[in-house]
Every structure is written in structure tokens, then in C-alpha cells.
Structure 1
């Protein structure tokens, strides 16, 4: 799956992809395991082969706010911490059993020194992170919860039922009770 993902950008050569894959290490996470926790420095990037991961922060009140859900076929990291080498304020946790391919920052940085293609690829990854953040922000500002939920149903129908109600409600910016009502209305 990761080979196809990397090939889809039409930037990297087969040899460059092989070099990348040689540096990746498989990692399995059980439901509830953390990829990274608040206060630690993120020094790796992962590709999600299977499973679902949530990214959340904890408010002063102790309430957890899920603001990102990552599905198979996507890259995963605590991006700000990864870039700045400062402790992260977020937690990345497995919602289901998860299979990752992980690459540490140092070898990935070394790849950028071996080929300009890697610099181009990482630039595109950064741009995609920005675009996803902007889309999410606009969705929250512009659309009602029903539309946000329907968009998720449209784009991730196979996974939506695997996400616990409280995480999904938090991700959508609504209460679990409101989400239950939305689900009933949409099924009617």
C-alpha cells in the first residue's frame, strides 16, 4: 500500500522508493496504544497500513478533544513537534488495532540530501497538511454538524462505525447525544 501511495505522486523513482522502504520499520499498536503522548518530542513519521488513529489534546477541564482521525493509506506524525523538535501538545492514539510503517526523522532527512525528489515530496506533504487543516477549519466555520457527519460518511463509510461515539462526536464538535440524533435522522 505504501509503495502505491508514494508512486501516486509521480516524483520518486523506484529506486528512491526502495531506499525509503528499506528504512521503514513495521510497528503494531493495540487499541488504546499511543504513537506519541503530550510532552514528548516526535522524531518519526508513520504510514498507516491498517487501523484508525485519533489525534487529541486534553483541555484544562480534563476533557479530551479529538481533532484529527487518520485512516489507512495516510501519513501520521505530531507535525509541529517533528518540525521544531519541541515537546508536542497532542496525543496520537490507536482507536483500533493499527499496523504502521515507521521511519525516524534522521534517515528521512538523509534521503533529502541524496535526491531533490525527496525535498519536492516533503514539500508536497507539508502543503497537503496545510490544505487539510484549512479544509477542516472551513468545514467547522461554514458547515453544520449534519454536513460534517455526512462528509465523513461519504469519504470513510467502511471505518465510521469503528470509531467510538465519544471520539467521533468530539471530532465533529458536537455532543454524543447530538451525534446519536444525527445518526437516527440520517438512517430514516
Structure 2
């Protein structure tokens, strides 16, 4: 008789190893890590799955977790004064996920981080990141490099200037993120581009 519980545990362990490997490979790009340090990092993380539409963090709450996306796409969004939903940028695989201003200064966030697709991610809680920083020499240097890169990526990904016409904005998005464009619902992409979904559908039809 097959032990389904044991088989399920093995599959989860394999998935966990695969997900953690993505994170470790990225960290090793910034600094060498010993086996013990890698094991420590692994012990301080949580593997989390979210469904499409779920929130990683919400406006009005203080951010106390940092995520690393291993599969799927998130969007950073907010609501304007007149109630319109605005998508600022998207975050996909092998990128970190946090409202840095809220996390750093421990103030309520003004934005939402929402799953655009089903997602898998590695999550660090604030206390666990502090423990890692207090144990691994040079961890602050690694996080500073990652933060700098994340900031530059954010600048490149942030929603385009509305001074450009909508067709130009859409074409630039296709040039920069060709694979991403195929995975994002039209409603979110239209919000990012600052146009209606109907307008985006017409643009796509005209340039296809």
C-alpha cells in the first residue's frame, strides 16, 4: 500500500529545495556563502503560495515581511483620490518584494502588492532577517546591493509618462517586457499604461 502522506511530504521537500535554490543562486551573485550560512538562511524562511488576487501587503498596514518571487507575477498598485485603481509596476520571478519605505521606516504603507497570477515565494519575516544580519558577516552589504538593484529596476518598471501617446507606451512595454506582456491580464496592463481596457484592445488590434 502506497504511503500517500510520505509521498506528499517528499514532493513538498523537493519543491522547497527547488524554490530555495533559486534564492541561494541569486544571493551567491552578490557574495560567497558557506554551507552553514546557506542552512541558516533556509531555516529563517517560509515558502508561501498565493492565489491570483491575493495580497502580499496592503495599504494602511506596516510592512514586516520581505518576499522573493520564485514563480508568478505581482503588481504594486494604489487608489487615486477619485477612486481609480492605478498599477505602478509589476514584479516577476527572481525579484524581491517589499514596500521598502514602509518596511524601513515602520510606517503604514500607501500601496498594495497583489498577486496577478498564482505565485510561489520565499518569505522572510523582519525578526528573521535581523537574526541573519546579526549572524552572517557581510549580510548588510549583500542587502544593500540588492536594494540598490531593486530601486533601479523599479525606476525602469514604473508606469510610463502620460505625455507619450498610448500606442507608444504600449510598444515600449512590449519592447522592455515581451514575456511579461503575455502573462498580465489586460485590465492590469491598461491600468499600468493609464488607459482603458477598451483602448488597449483597440491598440493591440491595430498593431497586430
- TM-score bracket, normalised by the shorter chain, equals 0.7 to 0.9
| Matched ranges for 1:57-76 at <5 A | 57-76=78-97
Find 1:51's aligned residue among 50, 63, 72.
Answer: 72
Structure 1 unpaired stretches of 5+: none
- Gap change, CA 1:143 and 1:124, over 3 Å in 2: farther
Whether 1:93 aligns to 2:114 is: yes
Match for residue 169 of structure 1?
190
Match for residue 126 of structure 1?
147
- Gap change, CA 1:134 and 1:30, over 3 Å in 2: closer
Deviations 1:5-42 (A, max 9, x none): 22222x14143333212211011111111111111111
Count of residue pairs brought into register by the alignment:
186
TM-score relative to the length of structure 1:
0.86
- Gap change, CA 1:151 and 1:110, over 3 Å in 2: farther
- Partner SS state of residue 161, structure 2: helix
Whether 1:3 aligns to 2:24 is: yes
39-48 vs 13-22, which moves further: 13-22
Match for residue 32 of structure 1?
53
Match for residue 13 of structure 1?
33
Which of the pair has more CA radius of gyration?
2
Instruction: Tell me the distance in 1 between the aligned counterparts of 2:133 and 2:181.
Output: 36
CA contact (8 A) 2:159 2:192 kept: no
CA contact (8 A) 1:46 1:75 kept: yes
What displacement does 1:166 show?
Answer: 1.8
Structure 2 unpaired stretches of 5+: 1-21
What displacement does 1:174 show?
Answer: 2.9
- Gap change, CA 1:183 and 1:55, over 3 Å in 2: same
Instruction: Tell me the distance in 1 between the aligned counterparts of 2:190 and 2:134.
Output: 43
